[in-house]
A and B are shown apart, each in its own frame.
Chain A
Amino acid sequence: MKKGAVALAAGLILATTAQAEDTRVATMSLVEGVVVVNQGERFTQAHRGLVLQKGARVFVMEGAHAELAYEGRCRLRLESNSFLVVGDADECATGHVQVRSFGPHYAAAIGLDNPETATDAGAADTGAGEGGGSAAGTVAKAASEPAKWAVPATLSGVVLYALIAAGGGAKGTPETNPISAQ
């Protein structure tokens, strides 16, 4: 009876392990800053060596970055403010990683038409240092470009005044009567 219970438990453990192995897609090979992973019900703070299964959601917070090592030696770097749903084991090697990056807000506002950028290739590094540009890389490039407002800022003072200063105050605001201020 006791032997039977042990065998059953061992079988369950083996089955669970096998299932986990089946869905294991990548591991976190580098974590710097706050990176949060959602697998199943719970969210956990990512750490080096954390096993990621298919469907895991990886949130890389502002100022953080992470690297995933896929089975088959393909590595994927995730930059600050990005999000990834872990897919199949070969997604990195085939360059079909769905990384979505946001911001930094400042750069997004001045350089990009659509600050939310999805990329197929992500920052996949297929071992030999090859790979396409990442979404976060695109954002960084935009940030280094001259700010758009440099052009409108050259508008003459008169034009600026006409555009934004004329029209006076709204109802319920103090009158611009200097006598009241004396």
Chain B
Amino acid sequence: MTAPAESVTKAPEAEAGTQQRPWALWLALPVVLFLAWRALAWGVAGWLVGGDEVGGEQAHRALAWVPDHPTALFLAAQADQASDPAEARRHLQTLLDTVPTHAWGWLLLAELSADDGAQEASRRQLRTAQDLAPWDGNLHYRAADLWLRLGDLPAALAAWDRAMRADGRWRKALYPRLLRLVEVLGDASPLAPLAAAHPDWWLGFFRHAARPPTDLTLVRQLYAMEGSVGEARVQERAVFLDRLMQDGQWLEAYLTWLGSLDERQRRHLGLVYNGGFELPLSNAGFGWRSRDAQGVKVERKRTYGVSGDRALALQYRGRPVADRHLYQIVLLQPGDYRLTYRARPDSLRAAEGVRIAVRCRGDSTRRLAHGERLLGVYQWRSDVVKFTVPAEGCPAQEIGLEVVTERQRDRTLKGVLWLDDFRLRPEGNP
């Protein structure tokens, strides 16, 4: 019953609103049209510069729609950089007045300043660009090029460092350039300040740089910088030792490796290191190395009859196995030696078995001697291998497992082989 009364009382207000609306509409219309125009213009400009491959012409057309469109201004400046530097600078000035934090705008401005010979201004603008976008690896990568043009090597290196830290994808591009740099200079010491900060990219770079044909003196210098810490340093050392061995620098490799052992590890030093497998396999330097994870699983385990606490168990998986799936490089003076070890095959099935062999390392890999064939199943048994290291052509040696197969036909092994207690001593006068 009250509803009609309300409609009656509201009727005069509604009538008044209807009378005022035309004025309001007329007032709002220009604003609405302006906003619509701006939306349309920004939409078109954005569309023009929104593609992957945007040319200068499109950027200039976009500026015709929106004269202060940041992306269009930047692209137009970039397009004009070579042909019309003054116009490019005007675009950048407008851009940076509109968006003072546009890092790429500052970078382009720095490039223009460098082109004009205004090196101090260029340096200042470049620093501003880098400070505004610390996360942008792309920008630091390009900034480094400009630092190089400006002759500021430390700043260029710092920019590369920032690029690699910001985005790991830059490493692939920058490792060769860092290496090229130290090769051109003939010295790696400019990288020392970077190495001192232990960047996470250092190990990858060292791996890249340590490969031949990089000059070994540069590799030594990079290693001495200790750019990695912890486990990364262990891996770096392994890479370095392999390079030294590859170049026949056996004694230096041995001294470096020896110096890396801690007191506990040194207690297991002999002519064979860790012969009782009481320590984990290091897979580096002059420690035990295992490979061929597809064909054999190598583990240190407790079992009966071991000397010490553990022995090494090689669990063959019924697949073909390569030679040297377990080996250790040793560094012996020329002379006669006696190697002893203990082995226990456990249901080890193969065409002809495996055996311990001693070979030369270096230019020649000739076999010096080998032990008895290991096959089938039996209890712990000792074996002795006597051999002579010749005075010439055998600078280092290797003790390892090889598959016995005269015809190279069947290298498949299945079952378990236990090994323990490797000892090596010189025979006769040293």
Contact = CB atoms under 8 A, between A and B. Distances in A.
Interface stretch (B13-21, B249-257, B342-350): B249-257
Secondary structure call for the B interface: helix
A53 B430 contact: yes
A140 to B, nearest CB: 15
Contact of B148 (A23, A153, A160, A174): A160
Contacts of B429: 23, 54-55
B139 interface: yes
- Size range of the chain A interface in the assembly: 35 or more
Interface stretch (A1-9, A38-46, A68-76): A38-46
B425 A41 contact: yes
Contacts of A163: 180, 184
A43 B221 CA distance: 29
Interface in A150-182: 152-153, 156-158, 160-161, 163-165, 167-170, 172-174, 176-182
A179 B138 CA distance: 10
A161 B223 contact: no
A43 B269 contact: yes
Given A55-B333, A57-B333, A161-B145, A172 B185 contact: no
Given A105-B220, A105-B221, A172 B172 contact: yes
B45 to A, nearest CB: 14
Interface string B120-149: 000000000000010011110110110011
B217 interface: yes
A131 to B, nearest CB: 23
Nearest to A43: B269
Secondary structure call for the A interface: mixed
B269 A36 contact: yes
B190 A40 contact: no
Contacts of B70: 182
B167 interface: yes
Contacts of B156: 165
Interface string B318-330: 0000000000000
3 nearest A-B pairs in the assembled complex, by CB-CB distance: A157-B151, A55-B430, A149-B187
12 contacts: A41-B423, A55-B333, A100-B251, A106-B221, A115-B217, A163-B180, A165-B149, A168-B173, A169-B170, A169-B173, A179-B75, A181-B103
Interface of B: 49, 54, 70-71, 74-75, 78, 103-104, 107, 133, 136-139, 141-142, 144-145, 148-153, 156, 167, 169-170, 172-173, 176-177, 180-181, 184-190, 217-218, 220-221, 223-225, 249, 251-252, 254-256, 258-259, 266, 269-271, 333, 423-426, 429-430
Interface of A: 23, 34, 36, 38-43, 45, 53-57, 59, 61-62, 81, 83, 85, 100, 102-106, 108-110, 112, 115-116, 147-149, 152-153, 156-158, 160-161, 163-165, 167-170, 172-174, 176-182
Given A103-B252, A173-B169, 18 more contacts: A23-B429, A36-B266, A40-B425, A61-B255, A81-B259, A85-B333, A102-B255, A105-B220, A147-B189, A148-B186, A158-B151, A163-B184, A170-B176, A173-B170, A174-B167, A179-B54, A182-B70, A182-B104
